[in-house]
Amino acid sequence: MPVSAKTPVYFHSFSYITSNDPPLFSKTSKPASKSTNDLFLESCLLSSGVTSSKTIGSLNTSISTFVTDMHDTECYEKFNATLEPAKDESGNIIPQAVHVKLEAKEKNWYRIHIGGDLKQSTDGISGGGSMGSSNLTIPEVQMTSSLTLRNLSGSCGLSKVAYNVSQTGSTSFNLGHVQPVFNEVVGKGERRYGVEYDEVDWEEERSYRETKKGSAPSSTGSYLQTNWSLTLRNILPTLHPTIPYAHSSPSEIISESGPNLKHSLKLTAASNGAYLRKDKYVPGRGIDSKLELEFAGPPGDTGFIKSEFSSSLHIPLYSSLLTHHICLNSGILKVLNFGGLCNPVSNVSDRFFGGGVLRGFKKGGIGPRCKTEGEGGTLGGEVYHNASFQLSTPFPHPVIEEMGGRVFCFTNFMALSNLKDVASIKAVKDSTRVSVGAGVAVPLASLGRLEASWSKVLRKGEGDLVQPMQFGLNFCVG
């Protein structure tokens, strides 16, 4: 009987063999031992739909998803799945039953890494979305030393300890564990546990450095993420270059310096580029969205409710030669003092910071500022809106076009202020900055996109820091 994609079959059983290298100095020829346990593999087969497939076509699709998921765990050098006729205990073929033969080469159980890496620091705004506001940055280069332990429990978990030193002298240390989760109901996800110490250098934009010590376990599904954190933060004003024990930071920053404890729960719902076509970072069509809600309160001394929403729509025009991109973003931070248990004023570490995400302005270049003039006097705001309207077309050179590069022109609008300053629509309108321009964007696989742009600022506020030419990496996702 001819076999087609609609030929009815059902999953019967599976087997798993490995081709791991034998242990060093081994004097025996025992078969390769396997680290991954069968119960974990069975749950992966279940979540990817292999066990519930009813036809050859759906089974092949589910097997492809399963193999991709196993490669994504970073525990295998290779992983293959082969379909075979299922047999009973007597060796007779069972009609319409399929046996899945899994063959893999597992990676070494440990990995030591000493070398360079890139450090990313959020600026308080989640980003402009795919082909949205730029969020351009030149990431810090850091030296890192790390030890990763793979698949010790047989369920493809990764345990890692790392120590990093950035080019500005900031250090960080983290000890954590990532456990992939495959569930038939919520799909593919992961759980993260760990503790960390991190130093962030904000001296150029905000005139202070910040240290963070704490723990932030999280649980992530295909579209949902829950994150709980307990973090002791310390704001350190910039030291004066010539006067011992003195600070050069503005008085507004010095007044907010010192330690504070943040205890929060964050909920995130995001499509994560699942509905974007061609490329996640430089899409040709599709829709993407993200919603974040964060609640902070006792036992911490910082209390607030914070929400951010971003969405992007990409519409192809004229047989995909031209694409219209519409990107909208907004955020609001409302202080909660819980009857005096928390600070009645928002903390500078929790506010939104504009510029960078708005083409034509420097990072931290718009919004509330210190009375002292200078580039390091940004204080951040409690509410913002950001809109971008673009037209893009494939890059005219065939090599860059093949890489997914696009030429675009844009109009950006953004306002960033404190809640007390936006009592009316007119106040919001008066605080909105506007820029227009053009640029080039090229996706760099999972790193983001490389972007260069030129902007003409049409509207700015007093004290804003303008930067017409911008070049850097964009880490915005959807």
pLDDT in tens, 75-122: 999 999 988 888 888 888 888 888 999 999 999 999 999 998 777 655
pTM of the model: 0.85
- Find the range with the poorest average confidence among 24-38, 112-126, 427-441: 24-38
Least Cα distance to 5 among 86, 60, 68, 77 occurs for: 60
Structure confidence at residue 477 (pLDDT): 37
C-alpha to C-alpha distance for 321 and 397, rounded to whole angstroms = 14
Least Cα distance to 404 among 342, 367, 344, 448 occurs for: 448
39: Cβ contacts below 8 Å, ≥ 6 apart: none
Contact of 327 with 310, CB cutoff 8 Å = yes
Helix, strand, coil % over all residues of the chain, rounded to 5? 10, 50, 40
| Helix-helix angle 56-72:38-47, to 10 degrees | 120
Sort strands 93-106 and 10-18 into parallel, antiparallel or unpaired: parallel
With respect to CATH, is domain 110-359+371-378 assigned 2.40.160.50?
Answer: yes
Sheet with 93-106: list strands edge to edge.
Answer: 10-18, 93-106, 76-87
Q: Domain extents for the chain?
A: 10-106, 110-359+371-378
Phi-psi bin for 304: left (phi > 0), alpha (psi -120 to 50), beta?
Answer: beta
Structure confidence at residue 26 (pLDDT): 41
3-state secondary structure of 399: helix
Q: What is the mean pLDDT of the segment spanning 61-68?
A: 91
The token duo for 244 is 């011992």
Structure confidence at residue 24 (pLDDT): 42
Which phi and psi (to 5°) does residue 414 adopt?
-155, 140
Q: Per CATH, the architecture of 10-106 is what?
A: Roll (3.10)
Q: What is the mean pLDDT of the segment spanning 238-258?
A: 87
Q: Please tell me if the domain spanning 10-106 has the same topology as the one spanning 110-359+371-378.
A: no
Q: How far is CA 273 from the centre of its chain?
A: 11
Per-residue pLDDT tens digits for 276-302: 877 777 788 889 999 999 999 999 999
The token duo for 42 is 């069975």
- Quick check: 399 pLDDT over 70? yes
For 395-448, strand residue ranges (E) read: 406-417, 433-443
3-state secondary structure of 38: helix
